Each structure stands twice: as C-alpha cells, then as structure tokens.
Amino acid sequence: MRVSPLEGHRLWAPTYDQGLNPIVALEGRLLSDLLYPIEGKRFIDVACGTGRWMTHLGQHGASVFGADASAEMLLQAHRKRVPRGRLVQADARRLPFRDGAADVTLCSFAAAYFSSLKAAVGEMARITASGGRVVLSDLHPSGIAAGWTRSFRINGSVYEMDHFNPSLEEFRAAGRDANLHLHIQLDGSFGDPERLIFRAAGKAQIFPHLERIPAVWIGIWNKP
C-alpha cells in the first residue's frame, strides 16, 4: 500500500524502534565516528523521528534539539526522555531555529521525503554556524536501483512511502547551492556486524548478494 511520508510515519511510529534494522545499524556504525567531537557541541537533528540520534548525542555530552513533521514520531521521542523544550514539530523547509544555532546539523534517512531537497538543505545551512557541519545520510541510490523500497510492515500489511529518490549529484548540487563545501562522502555497504542481523532474521542466504550493493550514502559539508 502506498502512503504519504507523513501518513507512513504516523503508522510506523509506535513500532519504529522495535527489532533490528540492518540499514539503520549500518548507518549508526558508520556515522557515529564521523560525528566526533560531540561533547559540548550544539546539534540540531532535522527530521529527528523517534529521537534515535538525539539520545546518542545527548549521552555523549552534546546539546541537542530536534525537529520533525510527524507528531507521532515526536511523541515516541518524548517517551525516550528527551529533555523538555528540545523537540519541535516543523517542516524541514521552514525550521524554527535562528541563523547559526547549530555547530552540526544532522538529517538522517529523511532527505528523500522532502519535496524540495534544495530548500531543506538551504535551511540546514542557514541554521548552521560558520565553521560548522551539515551531515546527511540516506538510503543509497544503488540500493533503490537494485529494487530496495522505503517500506515497513504492520500486522502483515506492507506500506511503502512516497519518495523522490534524489541522485548523488542532486545531493551534491543541493550542498553547492547552499554554499556548503563537501568534505566527506561515503558509500557504505553491509559488513559482518549486519550479517548477524540478517542471520537472526533468517535471511542469511541473501546477505552475500546484498553486501555487494552500497546501502547507505553519507555526505558531510563544511559551512565557510
């Protein structure tokens, strides 16, 4: 069943954090080191969802704020004891933060749902301080080309969310249009840690094929 991103995340929110997701695990494994140093830094998590990265960053000494368009996702983040006043419901194209409010602006697995990637990245650049970083991660276009979907399952029903699937060049162009300088870009593929997740799910037989396909793309830009 096809649903809008907002409806999809409304339905998915209560079970989003249940079980192990190899894509999420891979992104977490790759991106954790790239976000350092964390302690004492100001982070804004755009499309923060259930607060997965907010929780991690806060535990490592960062000052973190999050924004998401989904009230249901934000409710789950509240239940993780994210500090009061740190979450706001907002569109990524119109963020309610002042210019230069963040040392690092993060957007994880959400860019393909934005109707205007250029506008959203422009906003992320605006709220990032000079000398700061804008960090984006998303499902790799190679995975989409291989037939992977942005979908989830509830009570036996499969829901696929509408999306735009920007190319890597569109990601890079959005950064250039926002006057950001691309510092790191990373094509991440599944490795041994994710192999265990596939095995636990009874899908070990497909892992040798999937590990050859880039699964996650990460881009990190510096703001002059």
Residue position matching structure tokens 């890597």:
168
Residue 174 CB contacts under 8 Å (≥ 6 apart), including other chains: 117, 118, 120, 121, 122, 166
**CATH number of the domain located at residue range(s) 2-222 in this protein:** 3.40.50.150
Question: What per-residue confidence (pLDDT) applies to 142?
Answer: 96
Rounded to 10°, the helix 71-79/5-12 angle is: 30
Give residue-wise pLDDT tens across range 161-210: 999 989 999 999 999 999 999 999 999 999 999 999 999 999 999 999 99
- Reduce the DSSP state of residue 79 to 3 states and report it: helix
Instruction: Quote the DSSP letter at residue 167.
Output: -
- Three-state SS annotation for 176-221: HHCCCEEEEEEEECCCHHHHHHHHHCCCHHHHHHHCCCCCEEEEEE
Residues 52, 82 contacting (CB under 8 angstroms): no
What are φ and ψ of residue 37, in 5° steps?
Answer: -75, 145
Domain ranges of the chain: 2-222
Question: What per-residue confidence (pLDDT) applies to 69?
Answer: 97
Question: What per-residue confidence (pLDDT) applies to 110?
Answer: 97
Q: Is the pLDDT assigned to residue 83 strictly greater than 80? A: no
Residue 193 CB contacts under 8 Å (≥ 6 apart), including other chains: 25, 26, 29
Give residue-wise pLDDT tens across range 91-139: 999 999 999 999 999 999 999 999 999 999 999 999 999 999 999 999 9
